[in-house]
Structure 1
Amino acid sequence: MSNGRIVHLSERVPEVSADEMVRALVPPRQFNEARFETYRPDDEYPSQAEALLAAQRFSGQKVAAAATGGRSFFDRFKPQPAVKPGLYLDGGFGVGKTHLLASIWHAYPGRKYFGTFIEYTALIGALGFSETVRTLRGTKLIAIDEFELDDPGDTMMMSKLLGELVETGTNVAATSNTPPNALGEGRFAAQDFLREITKLADVFQTIRIDGTDYRRRTIAGHAEVTPPSALEREVDARVSAGQIVAHDHFGTLIRHLARVHPSKYVRLVAGIDALALDDVYELTDQADALRFVAFIDRIYDAQVPVTASGTALDEIFGGGMLEGGYRKKYLRCVSRLIASTAAAAESRP
């Protein structure tokens, strides 16, 4: 007998304690096995191999002379660049930044934490700044995925937190996204990061990673739209196959997300095998759109395939949002939505 069933995310009211938030600061499950050895640099983009070497050095690993590009016996004796306590990986979507960040985390000895920028700011909100410093003090590594520069208040709060931790011996590795079609292709992102973290700028080595999205789906692609009748049949088939399917009306979910703190979205989507959304429509409210981006980040981390009817999910950010200040977030979300709907098509029972 099938143990599959339908659940509604709009009916879930998750609670997450501060202790649970700390314990959850580990890489997403798709990066459980991420290691330097499994990172495959694209030969067309030498910066990927250079980033791999920088990440290995940052983790304290010795790098063979051949791997550093040495072309003679004497090259192996050339002094290597000093390893700074901070490493910042700057690049577009799908070039392996999170894989390298997770590899650093796995290779690093001692107490360590891995989380998104929003998870760390949520922890500060739950514990308070002083208690967060006390909780994280003595940590060997803080890994921050998707460091955000959109909110000056949150950015400066994180800068202050990291400053307190670096002073007591903690090392920091971070990633952030640069849109693939951004003017200057990434140069501005690294400069913005260093400017916004002010006093910490000197402790970071910034590494640019060029390349194309490993998913081979660009933002010019499209998220698959499923007709309502076909969506119902897919939900039924997944349930019959023993899957737990979250089936919600898009508008109802958007309203519910406003009542749940983004730090709890990871618990909101826990245990589901697939997501089905009815009647998707264009979002014109910035707050709704940003909450949906945070939600999709958790869906993507959990590797949940998404099926949707209505407007194509890669076309929901309206009102000039893709040209505004949160452009990076929306483009990252579009890339993930395309991948998630493609995953649904590939995994249909």
Structure 2
Amino acid sequence: MRRLAAVPLLPPLTSRDPHTTPADLLAGLVPPPQFAAASFDSYVPDPDHPSQAAAQEKLRELAAALTRAQRRGLFRRSAPPSSVYLDGGYGVGKTHLLASLAHAVGPERSAYGTFVEYTHLVGALGFAACVAELSTRALVAIDEFELDDPGDTVLMSRLLRELADAGVTLVATSNTLPEALGEGRFAAEDFLREIQALAARFTVMRIDGNDYRHRTGRPAHAALTDDDVSQAARAASEAGAAVTVDGWPELVAHLSRIHPSRYGRLVDDVDAVLLTGVDQLDDDMVGLRLVVLVDRLYDRNVPVRLGGTGVADLVSERMLTKGYRKKYYRALSRLGALCALPLPGQ
């Protein structure tokens, strides 16, 4: 076999200062590369959890209804198909189903993004322009719906109300029931009316099951040494991969200087991300940035290696018992899957 020429290590992520335009954000409202080929047929429900097959059939029917309405030119002249909220634990296939729905409806008539991406879109375009743009779609799909602060509650309640009034069908996924959004993060009772208004717009479907990435608890991948990581970086580079190596403290500091809407651009065109000096987190601001970064890496199916603290011990016990615990558990699950991916050349 012909040996590939070695590729020098890419400059570290900490040297990147990516920028995005509103046009970039709009163009990115499609399922991520990880789910580029997702379909209802490729989703395999767990027979031990019938709610998975029920959700699959519900969204398949919704896609068919949206397609029929489009053919007849009806979805703007009559009530759109009902909006759906998929509630369930991490790793049960909610994102796969949501991406399948967006693909079935088509990129011209659907918008797909995470909750965080939609809040960033409002900030980039302005509220009125965002409503005008999204109102041209038959479907707005919102992955990982969550409320981290009161401002998001009011913003998203108003945005979804105006989109629904414009005839847009809304489908969201979350690890939290609508009426419990914001619980443990802020005085949710002060925003109960907004939260109830959000909940009233959806038909809620529960999806049960195990995390298909890790069946029991947190990922238990053995911690690597920094030397292990350096050797892995050299081997991947020699195999022709575009690899970055960053020190953990430096990356944590760098993420604080970049808006999370730009984290995707930060890791574009990277084949593997390797980190040295990783230490346990006990800071929610840092933790929430990490959640977004892990999501963008997972979207792109980028292998990761950690030198120092392993995935299982990356987030402190305190953080895993407070209001953001579901976000952290999802991030650990996804990060564990990325750490298990083979590096290029392996």
- Could you say which residue in structure 2 is the equivalent of 1:270? 268
> Is 1:59 aligned to residue 63 of structure 2?
yes
Give the C-alpha shift of residue 202 in structure 1: 3.0
> Is 1:2 aligned to residue 14 of structure 2?
no
Q: Contact (CA 8 Å) 2:178, 2:195: kept in 1 or not?
A: no
**3-state SS in 2 of match to 1:6:** coil
- Could you say which residue in structure 2 is the equivalent of 1:48? 52
- Give unpaired runs (5+ residues) of structure 2: 67-78, 183-191
Distance 1:20 1:7, change over 3 A: same
Matched residue type, 1:258: S
Q: Residue by residue, what CA displacement relative to the aligned partner does 1:134-164 show, whole Å, maximum 9, x if unpaired? A: 2222211100000012322113211211111
Q: Contact (CA 8 Å) 2:218, 2:312: kept in 1 or not?
A: no
- Could you say which residue in structure 1 is the equivalent of 2:24? 20
Matched residue type, 2:31: P
- Could you say which residue in structure 2 is the equivalent of 1:38? 42
Q: Residue by residue, what CA displacement relative to the aligned partner does 1:186-223 show, whole Å, maximum 9, x if unpaired? A: xxx24325965433433311110001111244333313
Give the C-alpha shift of residue 308 in structure 1: 1.1
Identity rate of aligned residues, in percent?
A: 44
Q: Contact (CA 8 Å) 1:87, 1:172: kept in 2 or not?
A: yes
Q: Contact (CA 8 Å) 1:138, 1:169: kept in 2 or not?
A: no
> Is 1:212 aligned to residue 204 of structure 2?
no
332, 341, 348: which one pairs with 2:330?
Answer: 332
94, 104, 109: which one pairs with 1:107?
Answer: 104
Q: Residue by residue, what CA displacement relative to the aligned partner does 1:203-261 show, whole Å, maximum 9, x if unpaired? A: 31111000111124433331332122221111001001111111100000000000000
Superposition TM-score, scaled by structure 2 size: 0.87
- Could you say which residue in structure 2 is the equivalent of 1:94? 91
Give the C-alpha shift of residue 131 in structure 1: 1.7
**3-state SS in 2 of match to 1:172:** strand
Q: Contact (CA 8 Å) 2:218, 2:333: kept in 1 or not?
A: no
Q: Name whichever of 243-252 and 223-232 sits farther off.
A: 223-232
The within-5 A match list for 1:200-349 is 200-318=198-316, 320-344=318-342, 349=346
Give the C-alpha shift of residue 4 in structure 1: 4.8
CA distance in 2, matches of 1:11, 1:38: 39
Superposition TM-score, scaled by structure 1 size: 0.86
Q: Kindly tell me the number of residue pairs found equivalent between the two proteins.
A: 319
Matched residue type, 1:143: A
Q: Contact (CA 8 Å) 2:139, 2:169: kept in 1 or not?
A: yes
Q: Name whichever of 214-223 and 229-238 sits farther off.
A: 214-223
CA distance in 1, matches of 2:214, 2:325: 21
- What RMSD over aligned residues (CA atoms) do the two structures have, in Å? 2.1
The within-5 A match list for 1:127-142 is 127-142=125-140
- Give unpaired runs (5+ residues) of structure 1: 63-81, 179-188
Give the C-alpha shift of residue 323 in structure 1: 0.7
Q: Contact (CA 8 Å) 2:273, 2:303: kept in 1 or not?
A: yes
Q: Residue by residue, what CA displacement relative to the aligned partner does 1:32-51 show, whole Å, maximum 9, x if unpaired? A: 11111111111111111111
CA distance in 2, matches of 1:301, 1:254: 20
CA distance in 2, matches of 1:3, 1:224: 28
Q: Residue by residue, what CA displacement relative to the aligned partner does 1:70-120 show, whole Å, maximum 9, x if unpaired? A: xxxxxxxxxxxx985311111111111011101111111552110001100
Q: Name whichever of 306-315 and 255-264 sits farther off.
A: 306-315
- Could you say which residue in structure 1 is the equivalent of 2:179? 191
The within-5 A match list for 1:164-183 is 164-177=162-175
- Could you say which residue in structure 2 is the equivalent of 1:120? 118
CA distance in 1, matches of 2:237, 2:198: 50
155, 158, 165: which one pairs with 2:156?
Answer: 158
CA distance in 2, matches of 1:299, 1:248: 15
Distance 1:125 1:198, change over 3 A: same
CA distance in 1, matches of 2:198, 2:173: 15
Distance 1:214 1:59, change over 3 A: same
CA distance in 2, matches of 1:83, 1:127: 25
CA distance in 2, matches of 1:15, 1:127: 15
Give the C-alpha shift of residue 319 in structure 1: 6.2
Q: Residue by residue, what CA displacement relative to the aligned partner does 1:1-42 show, whole Å, maximum 9, x if unpaired? A: 334533200000000001111101110112111111111111
Q: Contact (CA 8 Å) 1:246, 1:272: kept in 2 or not?
A: yes
Q: Contact (CA 8 Å) 1:57, 1:83: kept in 2 or not?
A: no
Distance 1:273 1:192, change over 3 A: same
**3-state SS in 1 of match to 2:47:** coil
23, 28, 33: which one pairs with 1:29?
Answer: 33
